[in-house]
């Protein structure tokens, strides 16, 4: 069963779920047609709305479908970064025994930004990149 949650922020944040698991989070100019059937989707919509109001929300309860085992390894480490904190690509790389570049590539494949808070990973001397654009990353960091 597919579900769609859409929340307005700076842009629309559209979340697609399959069988209760998040498969995609996209920042869009328009909302998708919502299809909310499960308690998980209802709770996610509420949590996203509260998050964008500046309320500390922990999205760890939401299951995410990862594209590869390595990406899952990196993103599960990123999930441990607490609200309002940041870690560097190097810190994540050292934790899981890989390179900064490999961490960056895995973050680029994050199917669920915000749910997996890859905006909390920064470069040693700057912000680094973000799949939805650096301005969105700045706003997410400012929000927290």
DSSP assigned state of 118: G
Q: Pick from 36, 12, 11, 14: which is nearest to 25 by CA?
A: 14
**12-18 and 121-122 beta bridge pairing:** unpaired
What value, to the nearest 5°, has the Cα angle with vertex 28 and ends 129 and 14? 100
State CA 3 to chain mean position distance.
Answer: 18
Beta bridge partners of 96: none
Name the residues annotated as catalytic: 118
Residue 70 sits at φ, ψ, to 5 deg, of -65, -45
Half-sphere exposure of 104 (CA within 13 A, CB side): 13
Question: How far, in whole angstroms, is CA 57 from its chain's centroid?
Answer: 12
């Amino acid at each position: 069963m597919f579900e769609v949650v859409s929340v307005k922020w700076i842009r629309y944040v559209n979340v697609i779920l399959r069988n209760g698991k998040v498969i995609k989070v996209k920042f869009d100019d328009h909302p998708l047609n919502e299809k909310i059937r499960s308690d998980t989707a209802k709770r996610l919509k509420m949590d996203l709305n509260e998050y964008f109001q500046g309320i500390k929300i922990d999205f760890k309860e939401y299951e995410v479908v990862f594209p590869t085992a390595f990406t899952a390894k990196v993103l599960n480490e990123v999930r441990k970064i607490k609200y309002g904190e940041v870690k560097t690509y190097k810190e994540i790389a050292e934790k899981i025994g890989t390179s900064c570049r490999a961490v960056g590539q895995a973050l680029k494949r994050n199917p669920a930004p915000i749910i997996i808070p890859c905006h909390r990973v920064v470069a040693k001397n700057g912000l680094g990149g973000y799949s939805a654009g650096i301005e969105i990353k700045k706003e997410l960091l400012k929000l927290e």
